[in-house]
Amino acid sequence: MIRKFAALLLLAGIAAIFMGLLFTYEPDPELNTTARYYAERTAADIGAANIVTAIVVTYRGLDTLGEVTVLFLSAAIVGLVLASGRRKKTAKERTVTPAGELLATGSTLLAPLIMLLGVYVFVNGHLTPGGGFQGGAIIASGMLLLLLTDPLKHFSHTLIATVESLSGILYVAIGLLGIFLAGGFLDNRILPIGTLGTLFSAGAIPLIYSLIGLKVGAEFSSILAHLSETEEL
């Protein structure tokens, strides 16, 4: 009874806070200083048609490096915890019910297309909405579809780990190149800015975002592969 009352009280408190936010909210008539700087200078300075990407990869590139690191840490911890729970018996001996005809045929057709869409999303991150994180998650969804069809499927951990570490190292290396060749860490102007709106524009952004996409995709895939191979579930 007391617990229910406390939960209701907590809900009422949260509702009061949100009501306050809702009724005192007034949209700004114009962009504030930072937003106006980004809106006006992105096309000239960064050359990216998608302002969000310019902020995520270049203006706030260090934060993105931090986010990728957090994701890497969680993937590493999942691997550590699940690998210690794995027994000698391999996952091959597990009995599974075979996937239905619809899922088996559908995933054969769809998985390559889904992965292609993921690559498209992160390669075009500087032109259209989306980017490395979204593309990586889409690639991992394709992997998960394959795992749903055949739970005993074995992905090469060596390949996943190699892709993950290589893209991570290259990401930091490109960032360091920015210090020597351009204005600072993760500056995208180490490559020519090009024409606004074309695929090969915005300097190093397509390169960096592709590396982020591969890294995120590999991290998610390693989590999924560990989950599928563990016996302790």
Residues 176/185, Cβ–Cβ less than 8 Å: yes
Stretch that binds another protein, among 47-55, 172-180, 196-204, 206-214 (CB under 8 A): 47-55
Please give the biggest Cα pair distance in the chain: 67
- Contact status: 133 vs another protein (CB under 8 A): yes
Stretch that binds another protein, among 10-18, 136-144, 172-180, 204-212 (CB under 8 A): 136-144
Residues 127/199, Cβ–Cβ less than 8 Å: yes
| Chain length of the chain | 233
Helices (H) and strands (E) in the chain, counts: 8, 0
Stretch that binds another protein, among 15-23, 145-153, 156-164, 205-213 (CB under 8 A): 145-153
- Contact status: 221 vs another protein (CB under 8 A): no
- Contact status: 148 vs another protein (CB under 8 A): yes
Please report how close the Cβ of residue 32 comes to another protein at its closest, in angstroms.
17
Q: Helix, strand, or coil here: 76?
A: helix
Q: Helix, strand, or coil here: 7?
A: helix
Choose between 133 and 178: whose C-beta lies nearer to another protein: 133
Q: What share of the chain is helix, strand, coil (3-state, %, to 5)?
A: 70, 0, 30
Residues 121/135, Cβ–Cβ less than 8 Å: yes
Q: Contact letters (x/-) for another protein, 100-129, by CB under 8 A? A: ---------------------x-------x
Binding site for another protein (CB under 8 A): 50, 52-53, 94-97, 121, 129-131, 133-134, 137-138, 140-141, 144-145, 147-148, 151, 220, 224, 227-228, 233
